[in-house]
Structure 1
Amino acid sequence: MVSVEDQLYGGTVATAPEPESVLLPGHDVPLGRYTTVRRLLPQRQLRMVGAWCFVDHFGPEDVSGRPGMQVAPHPHTGLQTVTWLVDGEIVHRDSVGSDQPIRPGQLNLMSSGHGIAHSEMSPAEHPPGMHGLQLWVALPEEERHGEPRFEHHAKLPVLQDGNATLTVLAGRFRSVESPASVHTPLVAVEMVVRGPGSHRLTLEPAFEYGVLTMSGAVDVGDATVTPGSLLYLAPGRLELTVEAPGEARVILLGGEPFEEDLVMWWNFVGRSHEEIVQAREDWMAGRRFGQVTSCSADPLTAPALPTVRLKARDRHGRTLG
């Protein structure tokens, strides 16, 4: 008798081929005057993981006697920003009136809608260390023209898996769901491993995933993931085994592949060259984005647009049109 697997996969083996995985190195990028981040998304060969379209890992850094993070008011369109700290303190201020410190174990989520401005500043009296993530989520067409909003979540759902603690930052994982508002099927989980161990994570087979470490190293399949790299996992997996030789802080990002083609430039996520041009003009003219009145720093000046037309790209970075 020929098995279903044989019929589907050519009769040579009784299992499906392993979904694609690739380990991608990040690169350092200056953020503001005093901070350098490791940018893990977007990359030339991979623009997104689900709706996650931007991943910056900053620190761990000693900021004692230094200003820390100092990012003056700047605009956003078409996205959500997600900030997660494991050390330090940053104050978020925005043009809808938010003035919110974020500390380790807390989540800030800002939805730009059609336009918002915000600043991110370490307070004058801040802890000596700084370590965290900032991520962007692309908003789908039906949400990206809405009103801007801000959320602060001081507590998030936590699960235990042996010697590991899993915090659900966004979306649903196992039996719990984060209170953070999301608009496409996605997930973000932090796993803090306190010593050697093997951990099996249940996955959604329709999701693609990215695995990164903020500290320590883990083995996932044939890949060793260390800070500064991102392991991409294509859809089709039911579970994932993470082998930790010692202490590690692991981030799992996932989501259904985001099929809308994007134009990303500076702090804007749009769908066309014309949208980006208009957003830049509005920011420079003081329109649309409001003012961050609780921040005394001067707003950032938008860089000059490139001399060529900005083109939409799909999730793999392929230019369209």
Structure 2
Amino acid sequence: MSNLERDPVELLCPPEIPSGPVVHVLAPRDVPLGGPRAMNVRRTLPQRGRTTIGAWCFADHYGPDDVAESGGMVVPPHPHTGLQTVSWLFEGEIEHRDSAGSHALVRPGAVNLMTAGRGISHSEVSTPGTTRLHGVQLWVALPEASRHVGPFFEHADTTPVGIGGATVRVFVGALAGGVAPESSVTVFSPLLGAQLDLPAGASVDLELDPAFEHGVLVDTGALTVAADSDGTDAATAVGWSELAYLEAGRHRLTLRAGDAPTRVVLLGGVPFGEELVMWWNFIGRSHDEIVEFRRQWQADVIGRDNPDGRFGTVEGYDGAPLPAPELPTVRLKPRA
């Protein structure tokens, strides 16, 4: 999904060194995507104090939205560079088209992963039969060695398994200990993405890869989180739409639901050791690179100078592509 903010901030994301409490709770911020009837999302990544969890660099949580009121999702063709998008739905259906020639339906229980690499464009539209839309949109930053790969798209179903008191679906990577089927989609750094559903009052104890840092995003309900490597860590309460961050070095994770059924998204990865520059739908390594990505999108696609250029053409979408916002008026400088 595009970042449809009308005035997106250009962010410098330096490699982060975990510090502070074992479990740190990140509050979401509300972001309106587009006009007055457009979707609103709750964004927990990136934000001040935490821009990545592993290579996960963007997390939007949306819904459940009544499509009759919100208008659903209508995102015209727009560009991406240097990242992978991971679409994961709880309710509804979205039609995906991209300039690599892919046409797919995003549905609950199946992961749709699009690798932008050197450049891609795509559209996303909720289908006519969708009455409620509810899910998460996630981005993965590509490491330097892989960020110029050719674009491609993958779709894969997931298999639910019972672990303790939870039902688990792994949609990216694998859970430590091999207790759930490993995802088949392609990633370029060690990652984990999974949905966990817990009945009211239930708990689950998971083995963690201590090389990973982790995040727990609450979709429904509320829970407590304990990362316990020595038996001394206290549980931390995490509310709806909040993201609990766990530093690397943890070996076990205990999740306990409150008095209502609880659904969470578990993210993990090896801390990302590269500096990123993020603006709108582009990830690069410098301000000048972002400026050039925008120039090419505006010239090749919006201006129709070279529709077969870096970002290609989305076939089958009935409408104009999305123009890029204006860049910040000052050059981005690294901050201490």
TM-score under structure 2 length normalisation: 0.85
Mapping of residues 161-310 of structure 1, within 5 Å: 161-173=163-175, 174-175=177-178, 176-221=181-226, 222-245=235-258, 246-286=260-300, 287-310=309-332
Measure, in 1, the Cα distance between the counterparts of 2:203 and 2:24. Answer: 21
Structure 1 position 225, deviation (Å):
1.5
Amino acid at match of 2:330: V
Q: Is 1:60 aligned with 2:74?
A: no
Question: Given the superposition, is the C-alpha separation of residues 21 and 195 from structure 1 closer, same or farther in structure 2, using an over 3 Å criterion?
Answer: closer
Per-residue deviation, 1:227: 2.2
CA gap 1:257/1:42 in 2 versus in 1, 3 angstroms: same
Q: What SS does structure 2 have at the residue aligned with 1:64?
A: helix
Tell me the secondary structure at the aligned position of residue 85 of structure 2.
strand
Greater Cα offset, 28-37 or 296-305: 28-37
Partner of residue 143, structure 2: 140
- Residue 91 (structure 2) pairs with residue 87 (structure 1): yes
Q: What is the root-mean-square deviation in Å for CA atoms of aligned residues?
A: 1.7
Give the 3 Å change call, closer, same or farther, for CA 239–19 of structure 1 in structure 2. farther
Q: Structure 1 residue 164: deviation in Å?
A: 1.6
Distance in 2, Cα, partners of 1:72 & 1:146: 24
Identity %: 51
Q: Give CA-to-partner distance per residue, 1:58-98, whole Å, 9 cap, x none.
A: 10111136531011111000000000001001111111111
Q: Which has the larger radius of gyration?
A: 1
> TM-score scaled by structure 1?
0.88
Q: 2:154 aligned to 151, 173, 188, which one?
A: 151
C-alpha spacing 1:243/1:65, structure 2 compared with 1 (3 Å)? closer
Q: Which residue of 1 aligns with 2:51?
A: 47
Aligned to 1:7: none
Gaps of 5+ in 2: 1-18, 227-234, 301-308
Residues 112-131 of structure 1: pairs in structure 2 closer than 5 A: 112-123=116-127, 125-131=128-134
Distance (whole Å) between structure 2 residues aligned to residue 191 and residue 152 of structure 1: 20
Q: Do the aligned partners of 1:94 and 1:116 also contact (CA within 8 Å) in 2?
A: yes
The CA distance in 1 between the partners of 2:212 and 2:325, in whole Å, is: 35
Q: How many residues get paired?
A: 296
Query: Which ranges of structure 1 fall in alignment gaps of 5 or more residues?
Result: 1-16, 313-318
What is the aligned partner in structure 1 of residue 13 from structure 2? none
Quick one: distance in 1 between partners of 2:69 and 2:204?
39
Letter in 1 for 2:293: A
For 1:27 and 1:65, locate their aligned partners in 2 and report how far apart those are by CA, in whole Å. 21
Give me the whole-angstrom Cα distance separating, in 2, the residues matched to 1:213 and 1:20: 18
Letter in 2 for 1:250: V
